[in-house]
Structure 1
């Protein structure tokens, strides 16, 4: 990477930004577009709550596991090449996912898509850091990058809802083909080449340990309700995760060329900002996993209507994100990030008190605006803090650290929120259905997921019985939904206190 930026690259920096945002948007949308399809997949593929979680998490899990390695590969061999190769793989696996015929095959295809996404995502932010050298412009660019991510949260469900309304469920993956081709062509023309002038070798043991560590953790949390949280297998899996974590840290400290130099986390600004991003995405992904099902199953919205009803989130995030990094420059990262996490907590508390018939144009929309505003106030300043603490030639690894915190946080958010929900939904529904004298097989099926519960209601012998079963499923859903929301609110509030305590307002040392 040259010290001085080529003037021609500088002149077209905003065009480069646009092309990178197209690639970024596609990758983030696909992390979330699947949420609006969950009820459809529950019906079409017979996916249980655990299966639905794995459909969401397989993409995010593989994505997270490979980010560090692929960020390093981009630094070593070139970030433009990483984006181009990643896009080709992503588009190819999208076609594969669109023709999946079972829950297991879709989970595998979604995981394969995560491989391509892991090549694309860290390279986008790394190139932005390389192209935008002025701190003020960099803050604006990171704000736009964060705004695109935030708006994708809503446009994913809207796009998915429109496609599901008019086409079969595989269309939510096929839509990636034209977008990916456009990103490939424009990227070949406009994106500049950049890489670390002094690259290091790949740390394959660290790579393997990171995959095993994150994978075992998420698998344990997802399967906890089914195995039992206090079961020997669950406790053994948690112990295994801790052992793998210790081995990973030991490996990274003992090698001269680590996958991730864990010593950088001694920097309070970097580590606290990374943790804040992870907490924000824990809350976000857990919320979106459940709210799409709330809109469709409980409120009865169509897939398209469900997506449209998340539009306020896109507006809130899109308006706040571009100015959030500049607010942090003026008032300090500590204050802005803490306010952001507090707002996310408030949003979850509000929707946690909502019922099945609560007015949308009231508490529901207010809660989404709080969540969107909070997310934007966290991501832009915290991302700028992470990237600002690392040298530009290590931008790929720095971006990967930022991205891993997002993806691991999001993956655990889905896993834990889904697990809390499943732990309460099934037993509550069993309790509510106890007097209905339904076949044991039907009750067991209804307890698997809300989609299965409503399907059982459709097969009830009389309209009155069907309505009673639907009401029981709705009540059980809200029981699990409320507790999952309050759990997320507690995590967000703890994150706000964490940021207030440990996140420095500004860099300790500012180089001239």
Structure 2
């Protein structure tokens, strides 16, 4: 016998939409299915965090690396981001229509193939192309994992499952740099991609055996115009963001053109969806303050965090002199905090409400980011670890509640669309953070180092001012005469990092204001109306 339920600790979700119960056979193996979904998500998260510690090695001349320039390295990262962000929304719609398991299997197979090809890249151009193929596959993986989760867990267990799902992201953040460091110490640079292949094979087998398929039983008519507009708009927007970060200038025609074009196409997409009789996504969901605040919080926290993740790798390796493996180990506290607290975030939300929990989480993230403004070349390691732990704790109390708010606002049949919205805002926010904060870092660094390049040959001065890596490379070639330049490079980078960290913290504070104003607080358990009391929530029972 089944009893319907209304959760008492709702986290900003819309009023419940009646849903069918999960089949008993699926319900019994739901935790095993969650394990498979986490394993699938892991390879996507792990790959990006691995690449962050490998950029120096890939930039080295052959045979150590492939001699990628700074711009080529950025596009090895950005080609993945561009394709991934552009297709997230479409892949979520396809999952709802043709089946999430089919989409997930396709995505993992393509991701595995792209990883194998990337490992064998003979030039930076090939690596960029194969990274784009990996992004294509990943776009079908990430939304589908969350959509399947929503269809194998009952509503009352979804917050717990989403917390564990979010914790697996922390696991990927931890395993990636450590795995990357170990592989780079013992194998060639391509091994950081080749390691994905056996993981993808295991994930495919486990998925075929355990994961049930699900889709929207009444998908309605296809909206090809809406799908096309979403792809074009997102690709143009993300390309403009990436291009602006690459040039450290958002005023040029090559940046403003795609940016404004993307915004215009996405505005046309919204206009079309509001008037369509069969919209790809119901725009009215964004009129709900809790839903809109949740997706805004996702974008803002990743804007702030991804920018810092980008420059912290250079701080740890270039300024502090840590190896790729040591840098990965220093990220462990951030990942450990997420793995510890994310699965338990629902308990704190039940007690204090989503508004209070997410606001405090945002403030913790802001404090962790602002702490980078105090870091120097000799800051004790335990302080770094403590700051990373604080950041991870804040993230663990933001992402599960806001993800629940987004996913439970939509009916289960539209789980793919909800997951796509969640991941699209996260990806665009992260790309914007890397581009904007990376631009601030580059511009501030160039301004600080230019006055110290007098001893550098005239033909190399422009290149020497691009980044701390470029400056240190020139200084090394100059021999003893380059030693003063090394010290100046460290000082200029630390000044630039301090400015960028404060900018990141300011963005996180904006996020704190958004969630404090618009996410719901604790629901009142009882309301007296004359002599009548509102009935208490009915709990679920299976029997």
TM-score normalised per structure 1: 0.93
Deviation at 1:311, TM superposition (A): 0.8
SS in 1 for 2:397: helix
The correspondence for 2:451, drawn from 431, 438, 446, is: 431
The answer to whether the 8 A contact 1:31-1:59 is kept is: no
- Compared CA separation, residues 233 and 21, structure 1 to 2 (3 A): closer
CA distance in 2, matches of 1:331, 1:103: 50
Summarize deviations over 1:182-207 as a string: whole Å, max 9, x none.
00001110001111101134433333
**Once superposed, what is the RMSD of the aligned Cα atoms?**
2.2
Q: How many pairs were matched up?
A: 506
1:382 to 1:507, Cα distance in 2 relative to 1, 3 A = farther
Paired position in structure 2 for 1:158: 178
For the residues of structure 2 that align with 1:107 and 1:250, how far apart are their CA atoms? 35
Match in the other structure for 2:504 = 488
CA distance in 2, matches of 1:440, 1:507: 67
Q: In the alignment, which residue of structure 2 is the partner of 1:474?
A: 490
Work out which of the two has the higher radius of gyration on C-alpha atoms and give 1 or 2: 2
Does residue 502 (structure 1) correspond to residue 502 (structure 2)? The answer is no
Which 5+ residue runs of structure 2 have no aligned equivalent? 1-17, 526-535, 539-543
Equivalent pair of 1:338/1:500 in contact (CA under 8 Å):
yes
Which residue pairs with 2:349 in the alignment? Answer: 328
Cα distance change of structure 1 residues 178 and 233 upon mapping to structure 2, 3 Å threshold: closer
Counterpart Cα distance in 1 of 2:35 and 2:133:
26
C-alpha distance after superposition, 1:18-57 (max 9, x if no partner): 1111001111112322111122233344445444333223
1:348 and 2:364 aligned: no
Give the drift of 1:165.
Answer: 1.5
**CA separation of 1:488 and 1:11: change in aligned 2, threshold 3 A:** same
Measured in 2, the distance between the counterparts of 1:239 and 1:211 equals 15
- Whole-Å Cα distance in 1 between the matches of residues 296 and 218 of structure 2? 29
Q: 1:511 to 1:391 in 2, by over 3 A?
A: farther
- Determine if the alignment matches structure 1 residue 415 to structure 2 residue 435: yes
In terms of fraction of residues, the more helix-rich structure is: 1
Cα distance in 2 between the residues matched to 1:511 and 1:204? 42
Q: How does 1:103-122 map to 2 (within 5 A)?
A: 103-122=124-143
CA contact (8 A) 1:42 1:451 kept: no
Residue 12 in 1 paired to residue 29 in 2?
yes
Matched residue, 1:442: 460
Q: Deviations over 1:345-378 (max 9, x none)?
A: 000111121012211112x222211211111111
Could you give the per-residue CA deviations for residues 65-86 of structure 1, whole angstroms, max 9, x where no partner exists? Answer: 1111111111111111111111
Deviation at 1:306, TM superposition (A): 1.1
Which of 330, 333, 338 aligns to 2:359? It is 338
**Residue 50 (structure 2) aligns with:** 33
Q: Identify the match of residue 165 of structure 2 among 145, 155, 170.
A: 145
**Which stretch has the larger CA shift, 33-42 or 345-354?**
33-42
Instruction: Give the stretch that moved more between structures: 69-78 or 406-415.
Output: 406-415
Q: TM-score, normalised by structure 2?
A: 0.88
User: Is 2:474 the counterpart of 1:453?
Assistant: no
